Amino acid sequence: MADTADVIVIGAGVHGASLAFHLASRGVRVTVVERAGVAAGATGRSSGLVRVYYDLLAEARLGWEAQAWFREWDQRVGGECGFTVTGFLWIEPAAHLDRVKANSASHRAIGVDSTVVDADEIRRLAPGLAAEDDVAAYEPNSGYADPSMTAASFMAAAKARGARLMTGAEVTAIHQTGGRVTGIATTKGDVDAPVIVNAAGGWARRVGALAGMDLPLRIWRHDTGYIGVPATVPGPIPVVIDVANEMYFRPEGGDMVLVGLEDDNQIGRDDPDRDTADAAADFQDRAAERIIRRVPGMIDGAFRISHSGQDGLTPDQRAILGPVGSQGPDGFFLDCGHSGTGFKTAPVVGLGMSEWILDGAPQSADLTPFAFSRYAGGKLLRGEHGEETTWK
């Protein structure tokens, strides 16, 4: 006989764990099914940036609303998320000053502490950074958190509220009757439920296929590494997204920086099962050259480790959230396609998704711009001020 639940969540990354927490907090019998372990996929390789600056205001709103969860983690969730306030700089060439000003102004309008700073102010805020023909949006209250810790805390809190976690259970079928989902088959047995949520990250397209759907997702593979910071580099080092050099970096502990590059990502291969233990052969050389441009003192630093990670990438590099509607079976919901930038929004996306499932519409956060129906209508999400997509 199959186990039963009110809602099945496929995937125990930070989004699946967040949704399980919010559902269980409302007394829902939720079962989370995970082929490996908590945070074993994209979450475990996430860089953990917690910031608000996005070129799409709908996305900035989610980042802003979620930041309160990270600040008040102990009271709202319990456990640890590792949130560390460092300040955040979004650096662009001075030629893009107008769009940085426009974005920053729109963020201030929703309550974000965001200001536009010039090169002199960038160097004052972060003396180790080189800045000449640059401008930046600055968020003093942003920083980073620990993604694996965040997901584990969400899951522990969900289980304390009655959620069930099945690990080592790969989904092999999604059952349907009369155009509606009724449950799943897994390598550890069947589970019946009238609602199923695909939160499977890099495996979300495969899961969608089990429901008879061809989701517009490609595999995005991204390398990151940790470099030791020489004692001669003046601090502090904030979280930085460096558009001019197509990279981002943030501090890690007291003596390292994590660095990732935005160009030359592997996009399109349909194999999320590839090993992620190693970065591309040329990654360390490329990353070292980039970080030295912005932090010259890093010329004396040394790589400690580098690796890769994978996520599902959508055509507009924005998440897919909500029910599949007429394009798939009733009761099938999507919380996937986060395209490598979904960690910071997980607390509020999980809340909104729980409301969508239980109340018919999200109330606490507006998730509707990210609905799956936008693809059928050819209405891809684009930033309001002409920015390009992040990953190249």
Same domain, 155 and 277: no
Residue-wise pLDDT tens digits, 162-184? 999 999 999 999 999 999 999 99
The Cα 69–Cα 47 span in angstroms is: 18
pLDDT of residue 277 exceeding 90, the answer is: yes
Together in a domain, 256 and 345? no
- Backbone dihedral region for residue 107 (phi beyond 0: left; psi -120 to 50: alpha; all else: beta): alpha
Q: Is the pLDDT of residue 266 over 80?
A: yes
Which of residues 95 and 271 earns the better pLDDT score?
Answer: 95
> Which tokens in the block code for residue 196?
């199923």
Residues 369 and 239 in one domain: no
Residue 25, pLDDT above cutoff 90 = yes
Q: Is the pLDDT of residue 270 over 80?
A: no
* Residue 1: predicted pLDDT: 63
- Residue pLDDT, tens place only, 230-260: 999 999 999 999 999 999 999 998 899 999 9
- Name the percent of the chain lying above pLDDT 90: 94
Confirm whether 40 is domain-assigned: yes
Provide the residue range defining the domain that includes 154. Answer: 3-46+147-217+316-376
| pTM for the structure as a whole | 0.97
The CATH code of the domain that includes 116 is 3.30.9.10
Alpha helix (H) residue ranges in 259-367: 283-294, 346-359
At 278-308, the pLDDT tens digits run 999 999 999 999 999 999 999 999 999 999 9
Please tell me whether residues 238 and 187 are part of one structural domain: no
Domain count within the chain: 2
Residue 203 forms part of a structural domain: yes
Q: Is residue 382 part of a domain?
A: no
Could you tell me which residue, 4 or 268, shows the higher pLDDT? 4
> Between β-strands 88-93 and 143-144, what pairing exists: parallel, antiparallel or unpaired?
unpaired
Mark whether 246 and 303 lie in a shared domain: yes
Q: Per-residue pLDDT averaged across 312-327, rounded?
A: 97
User: How would you classify residue 240: left for phi > 0, otherwise alpha for psi between -120 and 50, otherwise beta?
Assistant: beta
Do 254 and 346 reside in the same domain of the chain? no
